[in-house]
């Protein structure tokens, strides 16, 4: 799947311009990059979102949410094998929100993927063991 750029409204354009300028000045600021990546995804610029998520993984390799977002970007681009691997890293680093992962629309392309189903099963078993 290629980028699905939605019609950017004036607010999106202003926000995108602002965040790009801030990111250019602070290229290693993880919080700024997270905001940029989120906006890219929200407006359908998936390739740009993926590029940003890859930078974030380099800056924050132990952050489970960064890996989760990388998995989402890869899934949106239908790069399933890479997406499942990134999500597996997220889980290994402590990502535990099973309910969100099951219903996250960004992961729609993975619903029938064997690796993704296995990952969800592993999460469910771990969650049951933690609560029981």
**CATH of residue 17:** 1.25.40.10
Q: Specify if 3 maps to a domain.
A: no
Q: What is the domain extent for residue 42?
A: 10-131
- Domain total in the chain: 1
Of the pLDDT bands very low, low, confident and very high (cuts 50, 70, 90), residue 126 is confident
Phi, psi for residue 79 in degrees, rounded to 5: -100, 70
Confidence of residue 1 (pLDDT cuts 50, 70, 90): low
pLDDT (tens digit, 9 = 90+) per residue, 53-88? 999 999 999 999 999 999 999 999 999 999 999 999
Residue 2 lies in a domain: no
């Amino acid at each position: 799947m290629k980028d699905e750029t939605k019609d950017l409204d004036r607010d999106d354009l202003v926000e995108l311009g602002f965040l790009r300028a801030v990111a250019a000045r602070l290229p290693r600021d993880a919080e700024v990059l997270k905001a940029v990546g989120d906006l890219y995804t929200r407006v359908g610029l998936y390739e740009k979102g993926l590029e940003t998520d890859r930078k974030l993984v380099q800056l924050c390799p132990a952050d489970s949410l960064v890996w989760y977002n990388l998995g989402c970007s890869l899934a949106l681009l239908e790069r399933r094998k890479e997406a499942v691997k990134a999500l597996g890293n997220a889980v290994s680093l402590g990502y535990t929100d099973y309910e969100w992962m099951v219903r996250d629309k960004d992961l729609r392309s993975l619903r029938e993927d064997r690796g993704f189903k296995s990952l969800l099963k592993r999460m469910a078993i771990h969650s049951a063991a933690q609560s029981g």
